[in-house]
Amino acid sequence: MRIIVVSDIRGEQQGIIPYGLQLAKQLEVEVEVLHVIDPRVVHGVTSRYSDSQTIAAGSKLSHREIIEREKYHVAKELDDLLSQETSRLNFPIKLKQTIEENEILKKVLEELNRDTSSLLLINKAVDNMIFGSQSELVETCQSYGGVALVVPPKYCFQRMTNVLMPATFSNLLDEKQELAAYWIMKLAPVINIVEDDERRVEEGARKSLESLFNTLSVNYHELCSADFDQEYLDYAKMLEPDILFVEKKRPGLVTSLLKKGMMEKAFEQIKVPIACF
């Protein structure tokens, strides 16, 4: 397992890289910091270094020159930040940097899905740097075959003591369950599992979950509500877990037109990291 941190170094609401490094230290895994230079953004005015294509009177930069200049400044800023953060950790982390021109959704679909054993860390901020809209963030998480951990802007890392997940976690394939459970087990939190009273977890599935988290304390809570998604989020606000798990199921076309999906609601309402499985 490794952690892939989608760099937010150029965004207005940074914070995902320090969080990712701290998590990697706790899990003792390799980190890849991936910075994707989106050509749609570079042509705009968001970037501090690419808001003008002119160096001097009569001298305009080509698209390729703009991208190369952006790569240069990103590399410098990443080097500075990673040097500061790794020195604070005082822990030998295997670290890789990747800077490329692409769109994050295309990167997920074309490359990252080839090996979904990585934990993908993403800043929840929608500031037209990584994501231009919440729907783009949601689609990226849904498109990644592994677990995507979406972290609020500037959220400070803290060791997990309390995790909340729906009982549908038991529906994951064994391999994906084990991958998700691996990093949870390393941090040894209490596991809180919420069931829908109309769709209770079968006894066999319960035993499977308890076996998966065999060294941890596992609690069950049953919700009695016609709107399980909202009741689940309300329960999360009350419990205040360190990480909330949500299922990244895609709603049907008619349903999506009438109401927001679970992930969209969670991103709007919940102020802790959200693990999308």
Over residues 66-108, the pLDDT tens digits come to 899 999 999 999 999 999 999 999 899 999 999 999 999 999 9
Return the closest-CA partner of residue 168 out of 194, 146, 203: 194
In contact, 6 and 16? CB cutoff 8 Å: yes
Tokens representing 187 are 């941090």
Over residues 2-41, the pLDDT tens digits come to 999 999 998 888 999 999 999 999 999 999 999 999 888 7
Measured CA to CA, the distance from residue 272 to residue 244 in angstroms comes to 7
Predicted model pTM:
0.89
Query: For the chain, how long is the longest CA-to-CA vector?
Result: 74
Return the closest-CA partner of residue 40 out of 60, 16, 66, 61: 66
SS3 191: strand
Give the pLDDT confidence score for residue 209 in this predicted structure: 86
